[in-house]
Chains A and B, each alone.
Chain A
Amino acid sequence: MARPASKSSLLFSGSDWDFKTLSRAYDAIEAIAVEELHLDTYPVQMEIISSQQMLDAYSSVGMPLMYRHWSFGKHFLYQDLLYRKGGRGLAYELVINSNPCIVYLMEENTMALQALVTAHAALGHNHFFKNNQLFKQWTDAGAILGYLDFAKGYIARCEERHGLTAVEAVLDSAHALMAQGVFRYHRPPKLSSERQREGLRERLEYEERSYNDLWRTLPPSQQRVSDKEQEPERKKSLNLPEENLLYFLEKNSLVLEPWQREIIRIVRVIAQYFYPQGQTQVMNEGCATFVHYTLMNMLFDRGLISEGAMLEILRNHSNVVFQPAFDDPRFSGINPYALGLDMMQDIQRMSTEPTAEDRDWFPDIAGHGNWREILLDAWADHRDESFIRQYLSPTLIRKWRFFVLGDVADQPHCQVASIHNERGYDKIRAALAHSYDVGANRPDIQVMDVDLLGDRHLRLQHKVNDGILLEDASRDATLRHIRRLWGYEVSLAAVDAETGATIHERSTSQITE
């Protein structure tokens, strides 16, 4: 490849960076990204931070603003320790799904690394956040920073007013239920504006003040219907069954005060905000990695990056997409960067140089020619599970030498179920896709029933799929937290999803401190 790499056309030389160079690099990278990949991004806000600040960001789940809680302190101590011992390097960047998109850059990065990180985060992730259906529907990039600011202030005010311990107790319990605090099947309501929330709180406070106990003494208007007849009515009025435990507790708990409900709501909103991120790891990282790899090569081909810088970039790139085999001591699961990048490059390959097999498996893509369009569509429409189900090709299964291992708990052996052969492709693809389905892999726990007029016993149900039960100790501890928020007895029944038989039931009255 002959390139007119005159010194003057380089975006940068040497490893030092300054703001002018960063800005020039961003402009050049963005121009290529728009022109060649047709990316569409939020405006970018780049923040240069030190390693200490990166650790701070780690411990507050990556957000620039967060309320205070001891568990973040604990995570900080842990990350700090790992970092100081050299057990783990820090990320080169951190990107926040907000509008404008905030990208943290580490000050220690060399200029080559800053360019790489700019392409990866400021363009790759940014495009994904803005265009992916899941993020569009389920999170509100424009409002999140404002909301966190409100949350931080609100919780600080609660701490002043009600004391640290009281606030901590609610937060602890709410954190325990974060995974059960999201709407998985219907879209969450948009974050209301500060004014609306203020109005709502005022109304609640008014209700509190004007509560009159006399109403309770009025005689019931009609005959008491029997419990059995009431049940469907009751479930309907409470919208049962309900999968979002935090939502249910926030709206229906009988012991919580308005400020406690608001805190639960804050935790719930944050859990909901992060929910799409858990479902799009492969896609999100794949998209960002594909974008940085493609863009960096384009820059190099145009003579904008020197060979030395490119070598450094490639070295970092290959560290990121390193995937050891299952029997390697370094193996710790499938690397989402590697899988995502490979799948996207595979789509690129199929659309330009398809084989007969590809034409057979992917008639729509093979030979299509315009891989940009296919990728843009895939980035917009899919999450990990559907993306893999749709696009994982036999070529890639062979390249990765995937195999499926059946594991039944009480047997001493695992059995190899499928390997990378004609009969196995479909099964491996389905199994891999399934393993990325967050909904299917998180314990499915729902509120089934509660008798508000009777003993107020809250009944939860755990739908047991494939016989996978809950861990006893953490289940009991979590149930205690639910009891704290609910105020009355709580029980959890494990019900087999296929047969409908109750496996066992655990109630808070059985749990002793």
Chain B
Amino acid sequence: MPIFIDRRLNPKDKSLGNRQRFLKRAREELKRSIREQIRSGRIADADAEHAVPMPERGTGEPSFNNARNSGRRQHILPGNRHFSPGDLIPKPGQGGGAGASSPGNTASEDDFRFVLSREEVLDLFFEDLELPDMVKLNLKEILAFKPRRAGFAATGSPTNINVGRTMRNSHGRRIALRRPKQAELDAILQEIATLELVPSSAAARQRIAALREELDRLERRRRRIAYVDPVDIRFNRFDPQPVPNANAVMFCLMDVSGSMGEREKDLAKRFFVLLHLFLKRRYDRIEIVFIRHTHLAQEVDEETFFYNTQSGGTVVSTALEEMHRIIEERYPAREWNIYAAQASDGDNFAGDSERCKALLNGKLMRLCQYFAYVEIIDEREAHIFRTTENGTSLWRAYSEIDLRWPNFQMSRIATPADIYPVFRHLFGRQPAPLKRA
């Protein structure tokens, strides 16, 4: 007889270590494709699994191979129907060289797409955003659950035994099955003892025999009916309850006039993605509203928001007005947590900045949980501008708002690493990750 071993219950993912080593090796390339996908995909999709092509660099496994297109060789093939020695058969395709044998199946091992998990995607995405570790952990947490009592169950782990319930069941069963009590036994023993003290008579001997029989019967019955039986045992049951979350709406405001190029839009998009990730962790339902503006503002879908250019001047206040209108219409501040993220290159129509300030101070900041503004600047200007308070009229106007409202954040960004500090305040407000069950 052979030895049998059931391996099915062994820990899974024996090759997980190999997979991680592989991902580490291909990191740069994978990062590039993830960035590409996030750039071209929807904001809400960043937070999911992604399929990526097999990286070409760094994952080759070379060895000495015979070149297919050199030398003389012989192929031995089955299934000859009409060939005779000396027949010439044209080769399929130029440089194939392999006669009739099918080419190609061997090369495909280096050319396929595979799926990265959500965690791996976020790791790659976070890499040059320079997020603090705790924030990363925070964002990767999917949903917070809290165990909540949910009645009793007949099965469970010993630590969760509910003693009160169990004993109550046991008690009821013992009464119903008429399990003899210890007191009854003691009484009989007592009686036997007293009878045995006096000199024996026939009646007394008979009585003792009857009592002993009764005692024996009771003891057997006690053995048969357990004090606590497995059917009595009850366990506390816990249900993982999601921590109550509410709705949030996220407004993405962006200047789409000609001065916003590819680089600026890419940075803006990452800015929006990061805010979305944050909100997604915290709220059950998130809606995203895209408002683009030139000298006119309009609500658009995501595709249009990022890829359509529009010519025109720049009047920022139109976007704020549009946002206000939409809030009034669809997202009453009592029911919705309102977040706004605005990206711009700082240009604004002369005199409009004052109006923006008035709008924010007067209406919007009261409604918003949080308002983040980024001004995307050229990398070459970064070191000049980052320190000075001077800037465009819009920057100066917003600076005043920044001083007045704690839930307003603004920053100039030139590289992806600059984005996180904008949200530091937001992430810092609730530093502890929500506890899991």
Residues of A within 8 A of B (CB): 19, 22-23, 26-27, 43-50, 52-53, 55-56, 59-60, 68-78, 80-81, 100, 104, 107, 122, 164, 168, 172, 175-180, 323-328, 331-334, 400-409, 412-420, 423-424, 428, 431-432, 434-435, 441, 443, 445, 462, 464-475, 477-478, 481
Closest to A328 in B: B79
By beta carbon, the residue of chain A nearest B25 is A70
B89 in complex: contacting residue of A44, A333, A405, A434, CB < 8 Å = A405
- Asked if B428 CB lies within 8 Å of chain A CBs, one says no
Residues of A within 8 A of B71 (CB): 408-409, 464-469
26 A-B contact pairs sorted by A residue (CB < 8 Å):
A27-B1, A43-B3, A44-B2, A46-B5, A49-B7, A50-B8, A53-B14, A71-B18, A73-B23, A77-B112, A77-B114, A100-B3, A176-B63, A179-B63, A326-B77, A331-B101, A401-B79, A403-B77, A408-B71, A409-B97, A417-B74, A432-B76, A434-B74, A466-B72, A469-B67, A481-B62
* Across-interface contacts of B17 in A (CB, < 8 A): 68, 73
- Assess whether B100 is in contact with A414, with CB atoms less than 8 Å apart: yes
Minimum Cβ distance to chain B for residue A501 (Å): 15
In the complex, the answer to whether A53 meets B7 with C-beta atoms within 8 Å is yes
Q: Are A23 and B2 in contact (CB under 8 A)?
A: yes
Asked if residues A53 and B10 are in contact (CB atoms below 8 Å), the reply is: yes
Taking CB atoms and an 8 Å cut-off, the chain B residues in 54-68 that contact chain A are 54, 59-68
- Inter-chain CA distance A27–B54, complex, in Å, is 47
Residue from the list B63, B77, B91, B109 in contact with A78, Cβ < 8 A: B109
Q: Which residues of A contact B12 (CB under 8 A)?
A: 52-53
Task: Tell me which residues across on chain B come within 8 A of A481, comparing CB atoms.
Answer: 62
Q: Mark B4-32, 1 if CB is under 8 A from A, else 0.
A: 11111010111101111111110000000
What's the nearest-Cβ distance from chain A to residue B95, in Å?
A: 9
Q: Which residues of A contact B100 (CB under 8 A)?
A: 326-327, 405, 414
Give chain B residues whose Cβ lies under 8 Å from the Cβ of A19.
Answer: 4, 6
Contact between B88 and A415, CB atoms less than 8 A apart: yes
- Contact between A59 and B15 (Cβ–Cβ < 8 Å)? yes
Give residues 35-82 of B contacting A (CB, 8 Å).
54, 59-81
A48 touches B19 (CB 8 A): no
Contacting pair A176 B77 (CB below 8 A): no
Q: Which of A43, A180, A409 contacts B64 (CB 8 A)?
A: A180
Task: Decide yes or no whether B388 CB sits under 8 A from chain A.
Answer: no
Given that A49-B7, A415-B86 are contacting pairs, would A26 and B66 also be in contact in the complex, using a CB cutoff of 8 Å? no
A49-B8, A74-B59 as given contacts; A416 in contact with B83, CB under 8 Å? yes
| Residue pair A415, B87 in contact (C-beta under 8 Å) | yes
Q: By the criterion CB–CB under 8 Å, are A324 and B105 in contact?
A: no
Number of A-B contacts (CB under 8 A): 262
Interface residues of B in 305-362 (CB under 8 A from A): none
Which residues of B are found within 8 Å of A400, using beta-carbon distances? 78-79
- Bound CA–CA A334/B76 (angstroms): 9
Residues of B within 8 A of A177 (CB): 63
Does the CB pair A333–B101 fall under 8 Å? yes
Contact of B65 among A172, A431, A443 (CB under 8 A): A443
CB distance from B424 to the nearest CB of A (A): 33
Rounded to whole angstroms, the CA-CA distance of A73 and B54 in the bound complex is: 12
- CB-nearest residue of chain A to B88: A413
A-contact bits for B85-117, CB 8 A (1 contact / 0 none): 111111100000111111001000100111000
Asked whether, in the complex, the Cβ of B70 is within 8 Å of the Cβ of A419, the reply is no
In the complex the two chains form, is B114's CB within 8 Å of A435's CB? no
Roughly how many angstroms separate A104 CA and B8 CA in the complex, as a whole number?
A: 11
Are the CB atoms of A401 and B78 closer together than 8 Å? Answer: yes
Task: Please indicate the chain B residues that have their CB under 8 angstroms from the CB of A72 in the complex.
Answer: 15, 18
Contact B97 A445 (CB under 8 A): no
Q: Which residues of B contact A471 (CB under 8 A)?
A: 65-68
CA distance A472 to B7 in the complex (A): 45
Chain B neighbourhood of A464, CB < 8 A: 71
Which of B60, B85, B98, B102 has the most chain A CB atoms inside 10 A of its CB?
A: B85
A402 / chain B contacts, CB cutoff of 8 Å: 76-78, 80
A428 vs B15: C-alpha distance when bound (angstroms): 44
A432 to chain B, nearest CB (A): 5
Please name the 3 residue pairs, one residue from A and one from B, whose CB atoms are nearest each other, closest first. Answer: A325-B79, A468-B71, A73-B22
On whether the beta carbons of A405 and B77 are closer than 8 Å, the reply is yes
Question: Given that A53-B10, A424-B85 are known contacts, is A406 also in contact with B74, CB under 8 Å in the complex?
Answer: yes
Q: Measured between C-beta atoms, what is the minimum distance from A148 to chain B in Å?
A: 14
Q: Which of B19, B74, B112 contacts A431 (CB 8 A)?
A: B74
**Are B1 and A469 in contact, CB atoms less than 8 angstroms apart?**
no
**Residue of A45, A70, A400, A465 contacting most chain B CB atoms (<10 Å):** A70
Residue in A68, A415, A416 with the greatest tally of chain B CB atoms within 10 Å: A416
Bound-state CA distance A434–B6 (Å) is: 43
Distance between A224 CB and nearest chain B CB, rounded to angstroms = 36
B90 & A416 in contact (Cβ 8 Å cutoff): no
Instruction: Identify which of B10, B15, B66 gathers the most chain A CB atoms within 10 Å of its CB.
Output: B15
- Residues from chain B with a CB closer than 8 A to the CB of A409 are 69-72, 97
Contact of A176 (CB < 8 Å), options: B14, B23, B62: B62
Task: Confirm or deny: B84 has a beta carbon within 8 angstroms of a beta carbon on chain A.
Answer: yes
Interfacial chain A residues near B66, Cβ < 8 Å: 441, 443, 468-471
* Smallest beta-carbon distance B92→chain A, Å: 10
Assess the A323–B19 pair: CB atoms within 8 A.
Answer: no
Q: What residues of chain B lie closer than 8 Å to A50, measured between beta carbons?
A: 7-8
Nearest Cβ in chain B — how far from A470, in angstroms? Answer: 6
Nearest opposing residue in chain A for B102, CB measure = A332
Across the interface, do A70 and B21 meet the contact criterion of CB distance under 8 Å?
yes
Docked Cα-Cα span, A210 to B66, in Å, equals 46
A425 nearest CB across to chain B (Å)? 13
User: Residue on B with the closest CB to A413?
Assistant: B88
What is the bound-complex CA distance between A445 and B63, given in angstroms? 12
Task: Note all chain A residues with C-beta closer than 8 A to B7.
Answer: 47-50, 53, 104
- Closest-CB distance, A64 to chain B (whole angstroms): 9
A27-B1 Cα distance, complex, nearest whole Å: 6
Q: How far is the CB of B61 from chain A (nearest CB, A)?
A: 6
Take A56-B14, A474-B62 as given contacts and tell me if A413 and B79 are in contact as well, using a CB distance cutoff of 8 Å: no
Measured between C-beta atoms, what is the minimum distance from A101 to chain B in Å? 9
Could you tell me if A76 and B15 are in contact, using CB atoms closer than 8 angstroms?
yes
CB–CB B60/A435 < 8 A? no
Cβ-defined contact, A45 with B5, below 8 A? yes
Give, as a whole number of angstroms, the nearest-CB distance from A282 to chain B: 12
Task: With A414-B89, A414-B90, A419-B83 given, name 7 new contacts (CB 8 A).
Answer: A69-B21, A77-B112, A401-B79, A407-B97, A416-B85, A431-B74, A441-B66
